[in-house]
Each structure stands twice: as C-alpha cells, then as structure tokens.
C-alpha cells in the first residue's frame, strides 16, 4: 500500500522507497528509509502529508508519498 493511502494516526513500516535516486538519498538523510517506522500525522484527501519520522515531522508531497510503499503493523 502506498504511504499516501495510510490513514491519519496510523503507524506503518516503510517497505520500499520507490522514487528517484536523488530523492531516495535525501529521504534517507532525513531518516526515512526501508524498514523505518513512521506515523502519519496528517493526511487529507489532497495535498501534502505530514509524517513523524524518528523524532521529527516531515512534509511530503502527495506525488512522493504515492511512490513509497509501506506495510501495516508498524506497532510492535
């Protein structure tokens, strides 16, 4: 399931960051890479989403969020 479909408040685990090389590296620098647990703080029907990665909040454009696949059950 793409990150953009996760509901507000849910915690998920990043499965695969399927975007371009440059962005992938940047997201990794920001702490978001395969296996990271993230919490969706804000996800409206359109527009960018806000997620909590490690201890920071990131804004991610919807287009980018579409390309990041996640698996449910980030909560242990």
Which residues contact other proteins by CB under 8 A?
A: 19-31, 33-35, 41-42, 44, 46-48, 50, 53-61, 63-64
Q: How far is the CB of 72 from other proteins (least distance, A)?
A: 19
E strands of the chain, at which residues?
11-17, 37-42, 49-53, 56-60, 68-72
Closer of 30 and 69 to other proteins (Cβ) = 30
Q: How far is the CB of 44 from other proteins (least distance, A)?
A: 5
Closer of 12 and 64 to other proteins (Cβ) = 64
Quote the tokens at residue 11.
Answer: 């915690």
The four Cα atoms 27, 74, 54, 50 give a dihedral, to 10 degrees, of 60
């Amino acid at each position: 399931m793409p990150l953009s479909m996760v509901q507000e408040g849910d915690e998920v685990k990043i499965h695969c960051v399927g975007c371009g090389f440059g962005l992938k590296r940047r997201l990794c620098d920001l702490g978001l890479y395969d296996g990271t647990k993230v919490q969706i703080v804000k996800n409206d029907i359109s527009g960018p989403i806000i997620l909590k990665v490690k201890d920071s909040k990131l804004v991610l454009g919807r287009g980018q969020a579409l390309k990041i696949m996640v698996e449910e059950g980030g909560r242990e």
